Amino acid sequence: MLNQTVLPVKWIIGSDGSTDRTDEIIARYCCKFLWIEYLRLPEHPDRSFASKVNCFNTAFQTVQDTEYDVIGNLDADISFEPDYFEYLLNMFALYPRLGVAGTPFIESALQVYDYRFTNIEHVSGACQLFRKQCFLEIGGYKPVKNGGIDWIAVTTARMQGWQTRTFTEKTSTHHRPISRGQHNMLKTKFRYGQKDYLLGGHPLWQIFRAVYQMKSRPYVIGGLFLLLGYAWSALIHVKRPISNELMRFHRSEQMRRLKKSASRICPFAFA
């Protein structure tokens, strides 16, 4: 952050039980740079996504009297080029209705995103920047224990008429890769399926998503576990943490994207 060509007005670093010398490192830099603020929070034995939101919201309260146009959420395990934030801020200046912006994150030089089958309007929670007005209108982050806080914020912004965008000209680097072990991978796929159900994904979309995932490791079985996670949550009627309005909006987006993808594969059927 110190090497950025555009520095933040305020950078609040929250710590609620870090064990990697985070507190010590932050305290040292706060003495040198007044725009860095250290926020020590009570330790939470529950390391859920909701605790992350509570940490962010506590920090957010401390900037109520600060003048700013863009507010962001940044994970501690990513890095980026010196002009990263300057580039994103320029995008906000260029597009007046841009409410949320970010970039893809990569874990290796060989990683490639195929944006034909992913939603370029979604912005990864590793680094999300919000226009202030947009963040206030959506009510900020919602504390959801099982995850999806970044997705809920971005999708709610689009539902309320804001533009959201992942700009692929830049990337950040994620330094804590997801486990590659097959056992952990299958568990992760199952949980992703559960999360897809919780966030209101359409059943038809989920079937196509599972089939698409079968082409990646672990082949076939990974897609099956993704579908099983969704089906299991539906079977036991897990309560969704989102409104019916947001679910309808999300499903309508999925159906439009599914139709668009199908038209590329079989254009004459959708002429």
pLDDT attached to residue 228:
98
- Give the C-alpha separation, 271 to 263, whole Å: 8
Q: CA-CA distance, 103 to 240, in Å (whole number)?
A: 28
Burial of 55 (0-12, 13-18, 19+ CB in 10 A): middle
pLDDT in tens, 153-165: 999 999 999 999 9
Closest by Cα among 118, 13, 129 to 76: 13
- pLDDT computed for residue 3 by the predictor: 96
Q: How far is CA 158 from CA 103, 137, 151, 164, 248, in A?
A: 17, 11, 11, 7, 13
- Residue 25 exposed, middle or buried by CB count within 10 Å (0-12, 13-18, 19+): middle
SS3 (DSSP) at 44: coil
Q: What residues have CB less than 8 Å from 198, skipping those under 6 apart?
A: 146, 148, 233, 238, 240, 241, 242
Residue by residue, pLDDT tens for the chain (271 residues) are: 999 999 999 999 988 777 778 888 888 999 999 999 999 887 766 667 788 898 899 999 999 999 999 999 999 889 999 999 999 999 999 999 999 999 999 887 656 555 555 789 999 999 999 999 999 999 999 999 888 999 999 999 999 999 999 999 999 998 876 655 565 899 999 999 999 999 999 999 999 999 999 998 899 999 999 999 999 999 999 999 999 999 999 999 999 999 988 877 766 554 4
DSSP 239: P
- Separation between Cα atoms, residue 147 and residue 50, nearest integer Å: 8
Cβ proximity of 99 and 162 under 8 Å: yes
**Tokens encoding 157:** 């912004």
**What is the pLDDT at residue 49?**
78
What distance in Å separates the CA atoms of residue 93 and residue 89, rounded to the nearest whole number? 6
What pLDDT was estimated at residue 264? 74
Rounded CA-CA distance 245/203 in Å is: 17
84 CB-contact burial (10 Å; exposed 0-12 / middle 13-18 / buried 19+): buried
Q: What are phi and psi of 241, to 5 degrees?
A: -90, 10
pLDDT at 91: 98
The whole-number pLDDT of residue 181 equals: 53
* Edge-to-edge strand list for the sheet holding 172-174: 78-79, 172-174, 105-106
- Cβ atoms of 198 and 238 within 8 Å: the answer is yes
Please give the Cα distance from 139 to 236 (Å, whole number). Answer: 30
